[in-house]
Chains A and B, each alone.
Chain A
């Protein structure tokens, strides 16, 4: 077993019966405000006509990406990636600007309406640190949600995907290295977890394209200008009676 862990999820939509016990467990664990949730069970069915009707449910949550765009977007460092792979939010450091919410291609982040801070699935890191499973995984009666260390070949998740056809929710334009593997999801349900490319907010564009280069230029030019003037001053010397300087 490797020393460094690499946590992630395995989801088997075939085993999900949409009981939503996971949503209840998550809310109970993290006290998420009513009307907001950290995890979802997506569906786009039912498909077909009676009596040949089918419906698939696709559990989803933050994928704790290997190269998370939310971490890159966060201006304060409130969103960060732990060594074990979990992407977390330091609520005390978060100013609730929502840049990370906009940056996430899976739209699994939201601004908590009670705290005013960014919120999302934390992988139940407090439970994981105690050696327990995340609340949603521990509650899932059908075993549709699995969690574990992908660096450990004997872990539940490593065993679950071994020799299986898996779907990783990436697209042609977006590959953030999501640490969620779906076991044989039907095509229709894939749409629910396929990432969408982000569109930069106007404030971000202004900051990156205009404010930062302008400030760099202004500070750089004045600093170089004053440094040059100082060197010139040293070369010229000073006159006691000339300027009233003494």
Chain B
């Protein structure tokens, strides 16, 4: 956010403006992820039962075992939901690899020089210091959100890989048993780190006032112009340029045919 002065009138005008930030596929994938995390995290925590790895509370373990009818059904359903989650994500990535995933990764995930500067300034702002230093303009996602996307992508990869190893562990020969043994702590670590990121994501996305527009955009797909202008200036300007280009093209395509000049009246000649 810069220290640029924007009048109330301009602010109101910008607030009335709407920009599409997420398409339906993004929105559905996001809420599908939410649903899967809500199923997988509690059941995963419920599986870890013993005193050596006190990662989850025994009362929670007992409650889930009672709900699912034992340890085996709990593990079974955790595995089934995990595979459904992965199948949808893999399908999304494979089907939309060039059209969706690659373009998303290249345009919305890569850090540029402004992002690096943003990362150096933002922490100071968060603790109330160096407020006079303006934040550099950001793209559709700010540098913090970009870093979070790396955590999500890398975390999901390791969660999925190690989860599949554990689900199909009986097919792994005993000489490769170390693969299963390492899959467990890596799965745990990947979930833990990603979950730490999710805590920040939920607060910043749903509760934090400056980014609350982002939360509503995960339902409507749209954000208002003021939010986009203040927090994602580069993206806002890009969208405006995109709109202008589209309109020019549209006008060019559907412009009314030029009215033919009426033929010049011929001089009447008469003898």
Contact = CB atoms under 8 A, between A and B. Distances in A.
B71 A77 contact: yes
Nearest to B8: A241
B100 interface: no
A92 interface: yes
A71 interface: yes
A29 interface: no
A201 B178 CA distance: 9
Chain B interface, >50% SS class: helix
Chain B interface: which size bin?
35 or more
A96 B177 contact: yes
A229 interface: yes
A32 to B, nearest CB: 15
Interface in B39-73: 47-55, 61, 65, 70-72
Interface string B6-19: 00100100110000
Contact of B170 (A72, A117, A218): A117
B53 A208 contact: yes
B193 interface: yes
A244 B14 contact: yes
A215 interface: yes
Given A219-B195, A233-B208, A77 B61 contact: yes
Interface in B214-239: 224-231
B166 interface: yes
A243 B209 contact: yes
A111 B177 CA distance: 9
Residue from B51, B178, B180 with most neighbouring chain A CB atoms (10 Å): B180
Contacts of A45: none
B177 A98 contact: yes
Interface string B188-220: 110111011101101100011110110000000
Contacts of A96: 169-170, 172, 177, 180
A55 interface: no
20 contacts: A76-B75, A77-B61, A78-B71, A92-B76, A93-B72, A96-B170, A97-B177, A97-B181, A201-B181, A203-B184, A207-B184, A211-B192, A212-B188, A214-B189, A215-B191, A225-B200, A230-B207, A238-B209, A241-B11, A244-B228
Complex A-B, nearest 6 residue pairs according to Cβ-Cβ distance, in ascending order: A215-B192, A116-B170, A244-B227, A92-B72, A244-B226, A207-B185
Interface of A: 71-78, 90, 92-93, 95-99, 111, 113, 115-117, 201, 203-204, 206-208, 211-212, 214-216, 218-219, 221-223, 225-226, 229-230, 233, 238-239, 241, 243-246
